[in-house]
Amino acid sequence: MNETVTEFKPVDRSAHELLVVDDDPASRYATARLLRSAGFRTREAATGAEGLRAADDSISVMVLDVHLPDIDGFELCRMLRSRPETARLPVLHLSAAYVTDDDKVRGLDSGADAYLTHPVEPAVLVATVQALVRTRAAEDAMRRSEAKFRAIYTQAPGGICLLDLEGRFIDANPAMLGLLGRELRDVVGRPVSAFVPEDWVQRVDQYTRHAGLIAISREFPLLDPVGGTVHLEWNVSPHIEPNVNMAVAIDISQRVLLEQQRQQLLERERVARSAAERMNRMKDDLIAVLSHELRTPLNAIMGWTHVLQKRGGNAETLQGLAAIERNGHIQARMISDILDMSRLNLGKMPLALDLVDPAEVVSSAINAMRSSFDERGHQVVVHMTPPYQPIRADSSRLQQVLWNLLSNAIKFSPAGARIDVRVQQDERALRISVADQGQGIAEEFLPFLFDRFTQSDAASNRLRGGLGLGLSIVKHLVEAHGGSVSAHSEGPGRGTTIEVTLPADGASAPDAQSDPDTVLDELEMPEEGEHSLDGLRLLIVDDDKEACAMLQIILADHGALVTAAHDVDQALATLDPQAIDVIVSDVGMPGKDGYELIREIRRREMATQSPRTPAIALTSFTRAQDEEQAINAGFDAHCPKPLRPLQFIQQIRRVAGRPGFRQSR
């Protein structure tokens, strides 16, 4: 039986009469007067005998003094409990003489429902009496409910039985006995498991010995005296009274076959789904490991290239280093494209939506591509007429869209060509287009332009490299924003225009103004001073000594004071929070990894109440969950490999609290 929730109702005090028993006239009068002023009706008695005679069904609560001339309150309470007509009468002991904890224990042991001592706050006395009145009312309601239950129990068409905590029958209604095919005398004292097939005995024992706090539902078969089987749905409601559970049984024999067939279908579906999820996890893990293995050596290539470029050299050497750097960036972009496509396929690239200014996004994307434009002598002309209304988008992913479009334009445009970026907005949409003067696209290929691994020039002797993923990623990201992307070309040799259309957002426009046509050279670039680490004390932790040496040189070249450690224990022994401004730690190290390091550092900081030392995780694991894991472990930032030195330095400045840094990807 389900637990009944009783609606709280205020006590109508005028409907309740209280009996005040006290041999002290002044105390008796004061107590009765207080209770009457609270709205109760009262009667009074000066002795225990008078109180015993006055106690009847009309009394809701007896307020009983303990120190009486004839019968003390403890004995009187025991006498009340021994009489059927007063056994349930709530008794409140109120005493000025018996005030110790032992006295209170004696009073409660004698059967009192509450014990107060003088002097007592009037509000406490009234509240205690009211609580006893409410308790008595609840008990009366429970008795009435019990009578209703008994009527339902005996007349219900479904099987109902009472069980002890060992799953033995205490009682069963006629319907339950009908399901069992037995008389009451044949089942009382026997466990339910005595009437089930042998292979069900242990399970049914577990079901019927349920002693939890919530109802449970189970299905199992019963055997009748002639060997027939009845399938039951068995619902147990625990503790309808102390050490008693109630069970309701419904005959479900007609639906068991269909249920078995349904379970078989569900199991086949579960196995198929589990296999698919396992394959997806394997794909995701494979891509992550592949990314890590590719990024780790690439990080060394790019880092040492940067170091050598800073050292200078003859023109031939610098040209070679520039080629290494350029191809390293191409390789890093390919790795990122592969990883992004994997995330998109697995649905693991959520968008961090916020209101963004289209002009700022476009300018940031173009600034990030400046070196690529300069290298090939491209002139980029931006057609913008701010102010624009902000749109709801993921700023970093929108920049990624623009990077891919600009990279595509650079790749397929001849040296010195012009690239036009145009931003237009009306009340319905924002449109961003990138137009180049490159080789163009044949009409028959345009429908396939945004497919994965598709290129118009896919022959082995093609002029330009790449995986053919960039525009496919653009399409996925734009559609994730609720937009669309299209391409237009007059044909081979006549250039290509790709336009992204995003739904407009009705936020208020920014105040900034700029010229309609802005040449790239006029767009804002980071100041040289924003890459300075002068005076910053850094601790670098990396088990790869070559990578560690590279980082030391790069950071020292920008003014940092660098200390190196090659494992977690060495780092913890070296770390002095007073002498280190920022920690940069690799994550994947043998033995103890970077997560263990930062957790221990944060633990020590909490234990000693030391200031938090900023920390950056440097890792080849670049998935969103990898970044989240690093932040949750205690790092303040997550820097993917291969690192870009200037952006890495800006990240160090940011966590160190250096002013003037610029957020960039």
The string of pLDDT tens digits covering residues 600-643 is 999 999 999 989 999 999 887 777 778 889 999 999 998 887 77
The pLDDT, as a whole number, for residue 323 is: 77
pLDDT higher than 60, residue 597: yes
On the 0-12 / 13-18 / 19+ scale of CB atoms within 10 A, 542 is buried
353, amino acid identity: L
For 94-111, what is the mean pLDDT?
A: 87
Structure tokens at 460: 């082995």
More confident residue, 613 or 504: 613
- 233 pLDDT more than 80: yes
SS3 at position 38: coil
Nearest to 291 by CA among 335, 261, 328: 335
Which residues, 6 or more positions from 516, have their beta carbon under 8 angstroms from its beta carbon?
A: 383, 384, 385
Q: Could you tell me whether strands 354-356 and 244-251 are parallel, antiparallel, or unpaired per DSSP bridges?
A: unpaired
| Sign of the C-alpha dihedral computed for residues 458, 462, 463 and 464 taken in this order | positive
The average pLDDT across 403-419 equals 88
In tens, the pLDDT along 40-91 reads 999 999 999 999 999 988 899 999 999 899 998 899 999 999 998 888 899 9
**Which has more pLDDT, 329 or 392?**
392
Q: Are strands 159-164 and 169-172 parallel, antiparallel or unpaired?
A: antiparallel
* pLDDT for 318: 79
Task: Kindly report the number of other CB atoms within 10 A of residue 339's CB atom.
Answer: 21
pTM: 0.42
Of the candidate ranges 65-74, 125-134, 218-227, 524-533, the one whose mean pLDDT is the lowest? 524-533
Percent of the chain with pLDDT over 90: 32
Mean pLDDT of 553-576: 90
The pLDDT-based confidence of 413 (bands split at 50, 70, 90) is confident
Query: In angstroms, rounded to a whole number, what is the distance separating the alpha carbons of residues 318 and 326?
Result: 12
State the burial class of residue 219 (Cβ atoms within 10 Å of its Cβ: 0-12, 13-18, 19+).
middle
Max mean pLDDT among 8-22, 208-222, 603-617 falls in 603-617
Structural domains of the chain, ranges and CATH numbers in brackets: 13-151 (3.40.50.2300), 156-251 (3.30.450.20), 268-343 (1.10.287), 351-525 (3.30.565.10), 529-656 (3.40.50.2300)
- The pLDDT tens digits of the residues spanning 526-536 come to 444 556 888 89
Q: What is the pLDDT of residues 301-315, one digit of tens each?
A: 777 787 787 777 787
pLDDT given for residue 519 in this prediction: 39
Please report, rounded to a whole number, the percentage of residues in the chain having pLDDT higher than 70. 87
Average pLDDT over residues 2-25: 76
What is the signed CA dihedral for 245, 251, 257, 260, rounded to 10 degrees?
A: -10
How confident is residue 459, by pLDDT bands cut at 50, 70 and 90?
very low
Cα distance between residue 507 and residue 358, in whole Å: 12
Q: Which amino acid is it at 291? A: S
| Alpha helices (runs of H) in 542-644, residue ranges in sequence order | 545-557, 568-574, 594-608, 624-633
Where helices occur in 489-593 by DSSP H, the ranges are 545-557, 568-574
Task: Kindly give the pairing relationship between strand 391-393 and strand 429-435.
Answer: unpaired
What does the pLDDT read at residue 128?
Answer: 94
The pLDDT of residue 27 is: 92
For residue 81, the 8-state DSSP code is H
**Taken in order 614, 620, 624, 628, is the CA torsion positive or negative?**
negative
pLDDT in tens, 138-159: 888 888 888 888 888 888 888 9
Q: What is the pLDDT of residue 505?
A: 67
Mean pLDDT in the chain? 83
Supply the pLDDT for residue 171: 93
Higher per-residue confidence, 333 vs 267: 267
Residues 6+ apart with CB under 8 A from 412: 436, 438, 439, 464, 496
3-state secondary structure of 512: coil
Residue 263: which of 255, 274, 253 has the closest Cα?
255
- The average pLDDT across 587-607 equals 91
pLDDT at 462: 43
pLDDT at 517 over 50: no
* More confidently predicted of 330 and 258: 258
User: What's the pLDDT tens digit per position in 465-492?
Assistant: 455 677 888 888 888 888 999 989 888 8
Q: Which residues of 132-158 are buried (b: 16+ CB within 10 A; e: fewer)?
A: bbbebbeeeeeeeeeeeeeeebeeeee
Residue of 288 and 179 predicted with greater confidence: 179
Q: How confident is the model at residue 206 (pLDDT cuts 50, 70, 90)?
A: confident
- Range with the poorest average pLDDT among 58-67, 100-109, 339-348, 498-507: 339-348
Give the separation between CA 379 and CA 360, rounded to whole angstroms.
20
pLDDT-derived band of residue 453, with 50, 70 and 90 as boundaries?
A: low
Q: Which of 403, 414, 653 is nearest to 526 (CA)?
A: 653
Q: Taking Cα atoms as reference points, which of 594, 490, 506 lies closest to residue 542?
A: 594
- Sequence-distant (6+) residues with CB within 8 A of 371 are none
Identify the pLDDT of residue 215: 74
- Provide the pLDDT for residue 641: 79
Q: Is the confidence at residue 540, as pLDDT, over 90?
A: yes
pLDDT at 63: 94
CA distance to 1, 208, 236, per residue, from 214 (Å): 11, 13, 9
CA distance 524 to 520: 9
